[in-house]
Amino acid sequence: MSSSYDVIIIGGGHNGLVTAAYLGKAGYRTLVLERRDVLGGCSVTEQDIFPGYKISAASYVASLFHPNIIRDLDLHANGLEFLVRDPPSFTPFADGSHLFSCLELADTQKEIAKFSQRDADRYAEYEAMLTRIAEQIEPLLLMTPPDPTSLDPRNLWRLLGMGKMAKGLAGDFLPALQLASASVADFVRDWFESDAMQSTLATDGIIGAYAGVESPGTAYVLLHHVMGGITDAAGTYHRGRWAYVRGGMGGIPASIVASTQARHDPVDFIAGEPVVRILVDKGKVRGVELTNGEVIEAPTVVSAVDPRITYLGLLDEENLDAEFVEQIRNYKMKGATTKVNLVLSDLPDFTALPGVERGRQHSGTIHVCENLEYMERAWEDAKHGRWSREPILECTIPSVYDDTLVPPEHPDHHVMNIFALYGPKKLVGSTWKEEGPAFLDRIIEKLGEFAPNLPGSVVHKQILTPDDLEERYALTEGCIFHGAMGLDQLFWARPLPSIAQYRGPLDGLYMCGSGTHPGGGVTGIPGHNAAREILRDKPPRG
Ligand SMILES: Cc1cc2nc3c(=O)[nH]c(=O)nc-3n(C[C@H](O)[C@H](O)[C@H](O)COP(=O)(O)OP(=O)(O)OC[C@H]3O[C@@H](n4cnc5c(N)ncnc54)[C@H](O)[C@@H]3O)c2cc1C
């Protein structure tokens, strides 16, 4: 560790690492301090959960990570490898039918036609509409949100950019408005009639949300999840695809660190070192304090942790305006997500498509989401402080593509990740310590209804309840996005209108985590945009 730094970044999640990499590339002496022993935050490969197995214990699939970052930091040359799933998804239903989505449109339409010819015909138009809207909105992701109340020329320029975007939406203005504000159930019902299509598509609207499919605002979460794609090693971008990362999601942070080191940029990464306080002197930050009382000074401090931890946990209240503190207290971040990680001795033998040999049904995301009513009932439980008796499950088996995830002595074993909804952070009349094992058993039992061999194939199992997500990954209230992704907390209001341009309310303080625009997911974009703003403010190096 050097004795002086230009910038200290608190938190070594992927966004903190992206900011560090850009600042290091620009020549700034940068220090990243991560409280856990491993870098990556929620984009991590854990090796201590089931020794010998590599587990993407939090996030598990990639698509949103921005191609510009991959290019700028040369991440493919530094070990990043995406494994595209083909087919991308499989939804088995209780009556024994199943729906695949496929890489080719015509193949997906054939699948949909098993349920509704009308839906199959409409699907091409739906995909084209989503693509057009995503293409118009995507430039906003890389933009620093304007302050609509300011007449500063840079702000006016950004507002003009938004005007151009609105013009570009032209014929898609109505679906774009619906995507911004409607419930995902209403949105998919407008397009499709079959339960199979409605429920499979609606899952994207509730991933990570504290909301049900009928809750207004969930259609935006669907849009957020389709604004991505995968850049292959040859540099070709494939819109809308999701992929596993070879070696687990920790492959993303590992490649960022490797790229920084390959360029010999002046960045130090220190894991296992929590910051306890951001130090302030006369309204200006001057460094951070560690658990042992050690002080590290720097004129610029960047917080990659969530807004509540940043302002209520790391800063003394006396340094902040009382109204600002109140607004941060009211910042919405409720979690209802649980994550289950399993090691299986055999692949699931689905009643809807039997077979324990590696098949198309094991390749992509396996959805358990019978219909919209089933999904809303799952939310009803959560709303009343209970885990869902009939949970919504999104399962992946990345070891089907990546044999580095299992130990050589168990080449036939598989790793399964399950994103399970809902497990509300606050349970009524009980605690997660008591309820976690019961919910885990129910999830395994539920999967057994579709793949009867699964419960008997479980070799290792783990549930990460919202309490565990808060404790292990420092996700306040178990909120996986560092704040709800509703219109009132997006773009020029993320995390608050007064600090939506990556600058905090104190001189020298910045934010670069998912609590800033454009929000959660393994996108790297908050980190990228924050670095750009910091470099705008700092004098050129050297
Ligand atoms: C269960 C789960 C599943 C998900 N699935 C997906 C998915 O499949 N695909 C996807 O794109 N997104 C997914 N997400 C969302 C995505 O992972 C997150 O939104 C994103 O990774 C957050 O990145 P970040 O860098 O902003 O913050 P984080 O990853 O939260 O990083 C913040 C870091 O700060 C550290 N920290 C906190 N306090 C301190 C302190 N005082 N001192 C030092 N360090 C500190 C934390 O330990 C952490 O490492 C998932 C999230 C979860 C939890």
List all residues 6 or more positions away from 355 whose beta carbon is below 8 Å from its beta carbon: 347, 349, 361
The sign one gets for the Cα dihedral 175, 181, 186, 192 is positive
Do the Cβ atoms of 272 and 37 come closer than 8 Å? yes
Average pLDDT, integer, range 183-196: 98
Q: What amino acid is encoded at 27 in this protein?
A: G
Q: Is the CB of 481 under 6 A from ligand 1?
A: yes
Q: How far is the CA of 307 from the centre of ligand 1 (A)?
A: 13
Condensed to tens digits (0 to 9), the pLDDT of residues 29-42 reads 999 999 999 999 99
Per-residue tokens: 412: 């036939």
Q: Whose CA is nearest to atom 10 of ligand 1?
A: 521
Q: Is the CB of 521 under 6 A from ligand 1?
A: yes
- Closest C-alpha among 24, 207, 196, 228 to residue 101: 196
* Cα end-to-end distance, the chain, whole Å: 21
* Integer Cα distance of 101 and 109 in angstroms: 8
Q: 1 falls in which pLDDT band (50, 70, 90)?
A: low
Q: How far is the CA of 473 from the centre of ligand 1 (A)?
A: 7
The sign one gets for the Cα dihedral 424, 430, 435, 438 is negative
CA–centroid distance for 239 within its chain: 17
Q: Whose CA is nearest to atom 48 of ligand 1?
A: 41
| Residue 418 pLDDT greater than 70, yes or no | yes
* Integer Cα distance of 108 and 129 in angstroms: 16
Do the Cβ atoms of 404 and 130 come closer than 8 Å? no
What's residue 59's pLDDT?
A: 98
* Integer Cα distance of 44 and 341 in angstroms: 13
Condensed to tens digits (0 to 9), the pLDDT of residues 147-160 reads 888 888 887 888 88
**Partners of 365 in the beta sheet?**
89
Q: Is the CB of 473 under 6 A from ligand 1?
A: yes
Q: What is the 8-class DSSP label of residue 310?
A: I
Q: How far is the CA of 13 from the centre of ligand 1 (A)?
A: 6
Q: Is the CB of 339 under 6 A from ligand 1?
A: yes
Q: How far is the CA of 79 from the centre of ligand 1 (A)?
A: 21
Per-residue tokens: 240: 């809308």
Q: How far is the CA of 451 from the centre of ligand 1 (A)?
A: 31
Is the backbone peptide bond immediately before 518 cis, with ω within 30 degrees of 0?
Answer: yes
Q: Is the CB of 299 under 6 A from ligand 1?
A: no
What's residue 155's pLDDT?
A: 79
* Integer Cα distance of 225 and 200 in angstroms: 13
Q: Domain map of the chain by residue range?
A: 7-47+252-332+478-537, 106-229, 337-473
Per-residue tokens: 330: 């009211």
Q: Whose CA is nearest to atom 16 of ligand 1?
A: 521
Average pLDDT, integer, range 163-189: 90
Q: Whose CA is nearest to atom 6 of ligand 1?
A: 59
> What does the angle CA 473 – CA 508 – CA 11 come to, to the nearest 5 degrees?
15
The sign one gets for the Cα dihedral 384, 388, 390, 394 is positive
Q: Whose CA is nearest to atom 2 of ligand 1?
A: 58
Q: What amino acid is encoded at 295 in this protein?
A: V
Mean per-residue pLDDT over the chain, rounded: 95
Q: What Cα–Cα distance (Å) separates residue 108 from each residue in 75, 98, 453? A: 32, 12, 28
List all residues 6 or more positions away from 346 whose beta carbon is below 8 Å from its beta carbon: 356, 412, 414, 453, 457
What's residue 171's pLDDT?
A: 86
| Residue 230 pLDDT greater than 70, yes or no | yes
H/E run at residue 395: strand 392-396
Q: Whose CA is nearest to atom 5 of ligand 1?
A: 59
User: For residue 510, which phi and psi values (nearest 5 degrees)?
Assistant: -130, 165
Q: Is the CB of 12 under 6 A from ligand 1?
A: yes
Helices (H), 73-217: 105-113, 117-141, 153-169, 173-181, 184-191, 195-206
| Residue 507 pLDDT greater than 80, yes or no | yes
What's residue 217's pLDDT?
A: 93
Q: Whose CA is nearest to atom 35 of ligand 1?
A: 11
Greatest CA separation found in the chain? 68
| Residue 350 pLDDT greater than 90, yes or no | yes
| Residue 49 pLDDT greater than 90, yes or no | yes
Do the Cβ atoms of 111 and 101 come closer than 8 Å? yes
Q: Is the CB of 14 under 6 A from ligand 1?
A: yes
Q: Is the CB of 41 under 6 A from ligand 1?
A: yes
Q: How far is the CA of 243 from the centre of ligand 1 (A)?
A: 18
Per-residue tokens: 531: 């670095």
pLDDT above 90 coverage of the chain, percent:
89
| Residue 233 pLDDT greater than 90, yes or no | no
| Residue 542 pLDDT greater than 80, yes or no | no
| Residue 224 pLDDT greater than 90, yes or no | no
Q: Is the CB of 513 under 6 A from ligand 1?
A: yes
Q: How far is the CA of 35 from the centre of ligand 1 (A)?
A: 12
Q: Beta strands 337-344 and 414-421: pairing type?
A: antiparallel
Q: Is the CB of 36 under 6 A from ligand 1?
A: yes
Condensed to tens digits (0 to 9), the pLDDT of residues 513-540 reads 999 999 999 999 999 999 999 999 987 6
| Residue 389 pLDDT greater than 90, yes or no | yes
* Integer Cα distance of 248 and 46 in angstroms: 9
Q: How far is the CA of 42 from the centre of ligand 1 (A)?
A: 3
Q: 231 falls in which pLDDT band (50, 70, 90)?
A: confident
> What does the angle CA 369 – CA 223 – CA 501 come to, to the nearest 5 degrees?
135
- The DSSP code sequence of 422-434 is ---SS-SSS-HHH
* Integer Cα distance of 537 and 525 in angstroms: 19
Q: Whose CA is nearest to atom 1 of ligand 1?
A: 58
Ramachandran category for residue 116: left, alpha or beta (phi over 0 → left; psi -120 to 50 → alpha): beta
Q: 3 falls in which pLDDT band (50, 70, 90)?
A: low
What's residue 156's pLDDT?
A: 83
What is the best residue among 42, 252, 275 to mutate for testing ligand 1's pocket, by most ligand atoms within 8 Å of CB?
42
Q: How far is the CA of 522 from the centre of ligand 1 (A)?
A: 8
User: For residue 290, which phi and psi values (nearest 5 degrees)?
Assistant: -100, 175
Which value, in Å, is the radius of gyration of the alpha carbons in the chain? 23
* Integer Cα distance of 500 and 147 in angstroms: 8
What's residue 2's pLDDT?
A: 64
Do the Cβ atoms of 515 and 483 come closer than 8 Å? yes
What is the best residue among 522, 528, 529 to mutate for testing ligand 1's pocket, by most ligand atoms within 8 Å of CB?
522
User: For residue 232, which phi and psi values (nearest 5 degrees)?
Assistant: -85, 175
Do the Cβ atoms of 266 and 29 come closer than 8 Å? yes
| Residue 375 pLDDT greater than 80, yes or no | yes
ipTM over 0.95: yes
What's residue 257's pLDDT?
A: 98
Indicate the fold that domain 7-47+252-332+478-537 takes in CATH: FAD/NAD(P)-binding domain (3.50.50)
- The DSSP code sequence of 113-125 is HTT-HHHHHHHHH
H/E run at residue 270: strand 267-271
